[in-house]
């Protein structure tokens, strides 16, 4: 579980009857409290959102920079080696 601090904040939320019933059942099956399951679910949602946001930023960067070279895919190792040798000199 992700840790955002040691302090727990009491939060009230409303679930549908079906959600509450399913969560109660899952809680019993897993031997975890309903609160633990809700916190784990929130952590999962936050991780997915962070990952999704990072992917979106990366995709927005694609195509923004132009080298003027048409053979980057084929000769990228040569270009990287060239860039590093220029850096060292």
Q: What is the pLDDT of residue 5?
A: 63
Mean pLDDT of 36-65: 88
Burial 20-38 (b: 16+ CB within 10 A, else e): eeebeeebeeeeeeeeeee
Concatenated DSSP letters of 48-84: HHHHHHHHHHHHHHTTS---S-S-HHHHHHHHHHHHH
Q: What is the pTM of this model?
A: 0.58
Q: What is the pLDDT of residue 4?
A: 56
Mean pLDDT of 16-30: 98
Q: What is the pLDDT of residue 35?
A: 95
């Amino acid at each position: 579980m992700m840790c955002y601090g040691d302090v727990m904040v009491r939060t009230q939320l409303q679930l549908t009857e079906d959600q509450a019933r399913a969560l109660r059942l899952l809680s019993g099956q897993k031997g975890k409290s309903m609160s633990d399951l809700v916190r784990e679910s929130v952590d999962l949602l936050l991780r997915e959102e962070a990952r999704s946001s990072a992917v979106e930023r990366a995709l927005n960067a694609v195509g923004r920079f132009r080298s003027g070279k048409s053979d980057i895919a084929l000769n990228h190792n040569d270009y990287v080696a060239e860039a590093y040798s220029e850096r060292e000199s």
